[in-house]
Chain A
Amino acid sequence: MKILVCVKRVPDPETVIKLTPEGASIVTDNVKWVINPFDEIAIEEALRIKEKAAGTEVVLLSIGQKTAQEQLRTGLAMGADRAILVLTDQVVEPLAVARVIEKLVGTEKPELILMGKQAIDDDSNCAGQMVAELLGWPQATFASKVVLGGDQKGAQVTREVDGGLETLAIPLPAVVTADLRLNEPRYASLPGIMKARKKELKEIPLAELGVDVAPRTRIVKLETPPKRTGGRKVGSVQELVQVLHDEAKVI
């Protein structure tokens, strides 16, 4: 079978983010870029399926600038077979991302699409769902366990929901989005890194796909969370209740 894994280049979660003076984007100088951690989990899951089912091909897909090659190479070093990079300098919103994926599904014809449940940069959490809708495929989001049927015609996907776990049975082809506890991604090994150099990384200019990617939204303003201030000690339960009522106005 063929698995398409969608990979986004995002700032390292440990990077300290600074806003530009206009306040609608972030300063990208000196930012370390990584694979979106949830997408990395999706890659790992695809590789584990491949290890169990011989003949499985894992294809990575990213949309963005040429620099996203770095993240695709990392995924190839982890063990994916080949990669596609849809080149564009413009901001691509979740709906546009979903349309690009839909278009490439037409040519690649995967049986399974795996992607992170959300990207940690804008936290939209909707591209996977939109892809499923556009393709008319079943979707299983927030996966914490994926068990592929022996006949590769369906999968059982366990999802983390409020108050417990929910297990869905879905026919393939389908879209599955990965949650944090699905697996722990491997490191790229040195032999993997050297092999990745020779794997195919195809670049397709976005314009060639003929997909409507016009933005529907505009970022008005970004704000950093308020700076943490020190706590305050109160003398008694009575004083605590009073402060919560009079000052914090939460009770």
Chain B
Amino acid sequence: MTAGDDIYGSAEHLAFRETVRKFVQSELVPRAREFDHLGRIDKTVYPKMGALGLLGIRWDPQYGGQGLDYSYHAVFLEELALCDNAGVAMGISVQTDMATPALARFGSDALKRKYLTPAIRGEHVGAIAVTEPGAGSDVAAIKTRAVRKGDEWVINGSKMFITNAATADWLCLLAVTDPEAGYGGFSQIIVPTDRPGLTYQLLDKIGNKGSDTGLFFFEDVRVPLSNTIGDPHRGFQQQMNQFQDERMVPIVMAPVVSRQVWEATLKHSQERVVFGKPLAKMQVNQHKFVDMMIQITAAEEFARRCIRKVVRGEDATLDISMAKVFCTAVEQFVANTCVQLFGGAGYCWENPAARAFVDSRLVSIGGGADEVMKQVVAKILQV
């Protein structure tokens, strides 16, 4: 039995992994640098993924999903992580793991038919709009306001650091709808991006260059009340639930990318000769490779522990909060060490360690910063 066989070792999982691998290696990897230059994913990729059943693995077959458990989704994320472009992996996982889970779990039948089904088919791209210029990890401090007028919400405010800003067809927005009601005063609302009064501006990031990240402005943007996801008083709680899906993404992907960069760096270090012998044969570097592999192996097992819990439907908040800190720290440690091993080449964009170095800087910030994750853990552990 090899690692992970208990969760994704069945014949169907293996066949599925093969399908995702073929897709990622033939449709995404050859275009990885093209997407960097484009600054976004070519949207024609989404319908192809939809046709293979990749965009709604866990969601209800009634809306075009596959109705399978998280183990299949984990296989998808692991293979997607190998697409050689962290921005592309992020953009796609925003669709599957950050913008659609609340809609799939709490949305009305009509809302799911209108927005979830096209997203699963890859005809629509979704984005998640929670963070604001004045509120990130402190989600309850958001100011974007949706006011009820007749049978519509009228929305004013702004949203910051939104992935898929230019490509999104709709946003899963978190807005204040009842300022007096505390945590019961937030709603999740689907906002189509073609609504009058909604504009965006792209941001120039240091990494994840294959994705379009932007700032949205809402000026009297009107959407029907029926676009509200689930209970209008439980938007905050629904979003907290959706954050668990979001945090699983770096947990699953970081160990995979770490191992990939480690392998590329080892290959280079075995070929590169300095002072008469391969770089990899120097004891100081052998220890670096071993130290990295100890961390990578631990991160892989921590990720599988989280996947198992999610598959079994257990509350995984404690593990997810800890694993997000750990797995992303491992990726940063590995990327930084690999840049050093590559030397000057490791400081050039074409180098995988260089890209991992800047891309991995995001993962301990996005989806809940390390500090916030540790506060969650401290609360659960009552320390």
Contact = CB atoms under 8 A, between A and B. Distances in A.
Range of interface residues on B (Cβ < 8 Å): 10 to 19
A235 interface: no
Nearest to B27: A187
Nearest to B26: A187
A190 to B, nearest CB: 3
A18 interface: no
Given A187-B52, A189-B52, A194 B19 contact: no
Interface stretch (A48-56, A69-77, A219-227): A69-77
Contacts of A196: 15
B11 A187 contact: no
A191 interface: yes
Interface string A81-124: 00000000000000000000000000000000000000000000
Interface string A186-221: 011111111011000000000000000000000000
Interface residues of A, number: 14
Given A194-B66, A194-B68, A189 B11 contact: no
B23 interface: yes
Contacts of A191: 53, 66
B72 interface: yes
Nearest to B48: A187
B51 interface: yes
A5 B216 CA distance: 54
B54 interface: yes
A35 to B, nearest CB: 11
Contact of A190 (B11, B22, B72): B72
A188 B66 contact: no
Interface string A60-72: 0000000000100
A197 B19 contact: no
B23 A193 contact: no
Contacts of B16: 190, 193
Given A73-B15, A77-B15, A190 B66 contact: yes
B128 to A, nearest CB: 24
A221 B273 CA distance: 39
B303 interface: no
Nearest to B76: A190
A187 B52 CA distance: 8
B103 interface: no
Contact of A194 (B12, B18, B51): B12
A70 B52 contact: no
Given A70-B11, A73-B11, A193 B68 contact: no
B15 A74 contact: yes
Contacts of A188: 15, 18-19
Interface in B1-19: 11-12, 15-16, 18-19
A68 to B, nearest CB: 13
A42 B16 CA distance: 21
13 contacts: A70-B11, A74-B18, A187-B22, A187-B23, A188-B18, A188-B19, A189-B52, A190-B16, A190-B66, A194-B12, A194-B66, A194-B68, A196-B15
Interface of B: 11-12, 15-16, 18-19, 22-23, 51-54, 57, 66, 68, 72
